[in-house]
A = this chain, B = another copy of it.
Amino acid sequence: MHILITGGAGLLGSRLAKALLKRNTLADAQGVQQTISRITLLDVVAAHGFNDPRIQTITGDISDPEVVRAAVTPDTQSIFHLAAIVSGEAEANFDLGMRINLDATRLILERARHNRNCPRVVFTSSVAAFGGILPAQVLDSTPTTPQSSYGAQKVMGELLISDYSRKQFIDGRALRMPTVCVRPGAPNKAASSFASGIIREPLNGTVSVCPVAPGTALWLISPGKAIANLIHGHEIGSLLGASRALNLPGLSTTVGEMAQSLERVGGAAAAQRIRWQIDPAIERIVNSWPGDFLTTRANAMGFTRDASFDAIVQEYISEELKAGGK
């Protein structure tokens, strides 16, 4: 069993690889559990922190056909396509977003089609698929109306995943991920980067700027649950219905409630390290995203969510701070 993870050096990619190594098996195209013989981590920067003979790393640009050819081999039975230009950067650099989020996705799907082995492909889509005037809760039947280039590119990726699956070129699943929080490490160019920053930085003793109002609602998932749902999305037999795209469960909370969780779990001093200062460009993108969903379809399929935001903050403290993570 050979698995490819694009974005393999990122937070989700490297955590997913670790979870798969530990698990040691994954379903093949027929749904039969196979021993994992190789996991290829493809990213524009080198993946590190692995000392396992099953890990192969490829460093390169996923919009380069030669790189994709080296990564998607005829024995690639599973692809987790996580690599993307994040929301804030795709909005600032339209061409880069199109090249990585759309063109590279096509390259990967085309290579998989070329190999004629119908691999399972798990593609990470996003709450940014939705936007504009939305119902209080986004339903499985709510139409996708992205209000960012990132969101538009993700929905185009979903359409490719669905059509390539319908044509039996691949067996794809496009999972619309909630905002992953609390991410360890440094801020990134996602418009949602603050959602992790306002928890992580204060717990690490430094100040963090919150660029949106306290009433802003977000749809969140912890890194641990995100990984569990990515693997679950790979393992389930099929995504029934007219589309391979699926809204994943999450936790609806406001930024103000997140600050209260931080105070409860991390202490008053930590909470006081949040500086509230609106950034209109970020606020416009974040406010276009839905903050609450009713994920009937995904719940019935066995996808799960975090118990509370307090539990998410606690998980970050236990796994990252106490383990000496950054």
Contact = CB atoms under 8 A, between A and B. Distances in A.
Interface of A: 94, 131-133, 141-147, 149, 152, 155-156, 159-160, 162-163, 166-167, 241-243
B152 A162 contact: yes
Contacts of A142: 143
A243 B142 CA distance: 13
Interface-centre pick from A141, A142, A143 (highest chain B CB count, 10 A): A143
A145 B94 contact: no
A184 B173 CA distance: 42
B131 A242 contact: yes
Contacts of A147: 166, 242
A132 B243 contact: yes
* A-side interface mostly: loop
Contacts of A243: 132, 143, 145
A242 B167 contact: no
A132 B163 contact: no
A132 B240 CA distance: 11
A159 B156 CA distance: 7
A107 to B, nearest CB: 12
A301 to B, nearest CB: 17
A75 to B, nearest CB: 24
The 8 closest A-B pairs by CB, nearest first: A132-B242, A145-B242, A143-B143, A152-B163, A152-B159, A145-B243, A156-B156, A156-B159
A150 to B, nearest CB: 10
A131 to B, nearest CB: 6
Contacts of A159: 146, 152, 155-156, 159
Contacts of A133: 241-242
Contacts of A144: 143-144
A152 to B, nearest CB: 4
21 contacts: A131-B242, A132-B241, A132-B242, A132-B243, A133-B241, A142-B143, A143-B144, A143-B243, A145-B241, A145-B242, A145-B243, A146-B162, A146-B163, A147-B242, A149-B163, A149-B167, A152-B159, A152-B163, A156-B156, A156-B160, A159-B159
